[in-house]
Structure 1
């Protein structure tokens, strides 16, 4: 099944996901919905606490890629492609164990505040 259609079945993420037991995260939590899209390739959508669904989340993308890398027994210097509604990203596990996130950066919202 196409990973995009799997994530589309979630419908609109208009309400915070239900967390159980609720008392563990009394203020909510970021929740990533992840599916395998291919070899070293995942896709995800994210609900960010206090914001709602976002087009991407660097922390969530890296966390999901890291879990996939551990699941697959991936060696250092391995890269995974991660598709999010905002575009395609790449997460590389560096030799020192750190993760490197690369991809396009696009300004999604601009605003100003008068105090």
Structure 2
């Protein structure tokens, strides 16, 4: 081979390697994030922090709702307790009145359920 031919072939190889290198660089450049990795991590942290703040706010609202519901339930149970105690006292006074009149009060319409028995002590029965 003549030296001119070797020079031409080496120039062709250099041109091909340069072209392939340029293509690879372009592909890698397109894939690379447009934002530096450190900035991307800060952006991810901000997104996660914002999402956590929204979730914490939502959980706080849910807790407030549950506390309000529990307070309503306590008030309702207290009112029901008062009503049951009132009715038990009234029934006791009626039974006492009937016995003073020498009458026998009617028996309860059905036996007291087992679930109710522990609570009868609370209303004085």
Instruction: Give the TM-score, by structure 1 length.
Output: 0.19
> Normalising by structure 2, what TM-score?
0.18
Higher strand proportion, which one? 1
